[in-house]
A and B are shown apart, each in its own frame.
Chain A
Amino acid sequence: MSYNAAKDLEYIEEQLCFYLLVLGLDGSELRGYTIDEIINKARLLTPLPIKEYEEKDDKDPIYLYILNQRVSLIGNIRRLWYFRQLALGAFTYGI
């Protein structure tokens, strides 16, 4: 069996829909959102005074917790979005 872009895309979009729901967006409208809209919504969910805190040697644990939640949330969305573009791209090559 060769690469199945439809199956791959189905899995990726299911995961992305979960993240949209986490952000309070409509998971069934995935194809209507831009990556800018999704990432900006994720940033709003984890607001942080990053510049102010990054200069401190002794960082507040709550700051570190939220920072890592933010990095994780945005990182996973970006990666899934990239994988989705690759799967959609495979379709253009008839896979």
Chain B
Amino acid sequence: MSTFDTLRIAGSGLYANRKWMDAVSDNLANLNTATATDESAFQERMIVVEADDYGSGEGGVRVAGTQFGNAEGRLVYEPDNALADADGYVRYPDIDMGDQMTRLIMAQRSYQANLSSIERATNAYQAALQLGKG
């Protein structure tokens, strides 16, 4: 354990939230990625987070893995799409833009909250380092 542990803990929060934002941006970028009906649709990326050393009060957070959403997607009738099958259908991902935007805002606010943790901890440590001067 290090002297300035609060920074490490808040840093782990920064990393987890950034991975979340990465996943949501990936989903948003691929919102309209069409695939052929015999393949699976683009699956929504979701990250799984876990508390590190739960109960100790000083563990932080860890990205434990990724989960993938619905592979079926929705079938849309687009006969002039290059990937359309014999009936003229293509697969689109089962991702809702409004839902993803909400998650993006949540991830961004969590990231900012962790940044303010780091800032306040830095101020507190600097005050401790002035102990006894003046």
Do A and B belong to a common assembly?
no
Show the binding face of A for B, using Cβ within 8 Å: none
Interface residues, chain B, with chain A CB atoms under 8 Å away = none
